[in-house]
Structure 1
């Protein structure tokens, strides 16, 4: 399982970025009074799982092998 820690760490960072980028359309929805609560929930779930992946693999040596790079 330790071979995949770098992959999960990288996926955690990508999920955090994706979740934060989902906040901008939410702001636009608030401006135009078309708020959709499911979009907010999806953004929060994405950010939470990204943080969990990131923090659970924070202490691992972050070197990618060729096989792990293809897995990403």
Structure 2
């Protein structure tokens, strides 16, 4: 094998290795993105429950205040 052919084979192998590595990185980032989406969804659900709990407390306090002032 001549020197240029050896260099070309080496570069080709390096590019194939880089391609495999980048595909792995891409898969990893997709998995991270999916986990972030799940976490955002879970956080939104918790925030909605928290907001509903606060709204219920405010309604209860308002009803008790009304009872107090009406009596």
Confirm or deny a common fold (TM above 0.5). no
Higher RCO (Cα < 8 Å, 6 or more apart):
1
- Higher Rg: 2
Using structure 1 for the length normalisation, give the TM-score.
0.41
Structure (1/2) with the larger helix percentage: 2
